[in-house]
Amino acid sequence: MNYEIKGTPLPVVEISLAAGESIKCQGGAMSWMSPNMQMNTQGGGIGKLFSKALTGEALFHNIYTAQGGEGIIAFGSRLPGQILAVPVAPGREIICQKSAYLASTPGVEMSVFFQKKIGAGFFGGEGFIMQKLSGEGIAFIEIDGMAETKELAAGEKIVLDTGILAMMDSTCSMDIQSVGGIKNTLLGGEGFFNTVVTGPGKVTLQTMPASKLSAAVVTPSMRS
C-alpha cells in the first residue's frame, strides 16, 4: 500500500493498493476510486453495532479490495483540517475523539473507550465515549484545523481548552480542572473547565474543533 495526503483546507488521502490488498473505511467516506475496486459492506454483531452507535461511527463499514491489478481509492475530509496517517501496533493503542476515524488497513480495530472519571466525561469536551484504535496497521485520522503533536514525559501535564484534544496514546490519561476564580470563570471567555492530559505518550491537538468552527460561522451570521 502507498498513499498520498494532499490538498488544503479540505484534504484527501489517495491510496494505491496492489492486487488483492484491502482498505476499510466508514460508510460514505469514499471520494473516488478506480473501477477495479470491489466493495464489501460489513457490520458485526449486536455488541459491535451498539459500540459504533455510541462512538458516532457509521453502523456498517466498507472494505475495498483491488481486483486484478493495482487499484486507487481516495477518502476526503469532512471538515477543514488535516488527515494524519497514524501507525497502530500492540502496545501503541490510540485514543481519539469521536468521528476522528476515516479509514485504515484491515488489521486496525476500533472499539469504544469510556472515560473512567465522571468529571472528565462531563466537562472535558470530549465526552464519556471516545474511540480506541488497536491491532496493527495504519489508521487515517481526521483532525479539525491544524494538528500539533506534543510528546509528554511520565507525569508531565498539558492544559487544554475543551475540544482541543484530538488524539492521545493510550498510555496518557485525561482529567479536568476548574479555571478558578469567579471573575476568570465569568469574564475570561474560557469556560468553567480545562482538560488536563498527563503523560507518558504523544498527544495530538487540533486548533479548530467542530464546535468552535460552528460557533465561528454562526456568530457573524447572527450579527448581520
pTM assigned to the model: 0.81
pLDDT digits (tens, 9 = 90+) for 52-68: 555 555 567 899 999 99
pLDDT, average across residues 133-137: 97
Q: Which domain holds residue 73?
A: 2-214
Q: What is the mean pLDDT of residues 113-127?
A: 55
Instruction: List C-alpha distances in Å: 76 to 12, 43, 45, 98, 100.
Output: 4, 22, 28, 17, 12
Higher model confidence: residue 51 or residue 20?
A: 20
Where residue 81 sits, what CATH number does that domain have? Answer: 3.60.160.10
Residue 84 inside a domain? The answer is yes
Position 220 in a domain? no
Residue pair 70/21 in contact by the 8 Å Cβ criterion: no
Residue 224 belongs to some domain of the structure: no
C-alpha distance from residue 97 to each of 32, 33, 39, 41, 224 (Å): 26, 27, 27, 24, 33
Beta strand pairing call for 165-169 and 201-206? antiparallel
Q: Quick check: is 222 in a domain? A: no
pLDDT digits (tens, 9 = 90+) for 199-217: 999 999 999 887 666 655 6
Mean pLDDT of 113-126: 55
Residue 25 lies in a domain: yes
Flag whether 159 is in a domain: yes
pLDDT band at 149 (very low <50, low <70, confident <90, very high): very high
How far is residue 19's CA from residue 133's CA, in Å, rounded to a whole number?
26
How far apart CA 140 and CA 76 sit, in angstroms, is 11
d(CA 143, CA 125): 15
- Using alpha carbons, list the distances in angstroms from residue 145 to 128, 138, 161, 189: 23, 21, 14, 20
How many structural domains compose the chain?
Answer: 1
Give the pLDDT confidence of 170-191 residue by residue, as tens digits.
Answer: 999 988 887 754 544 444 445 5
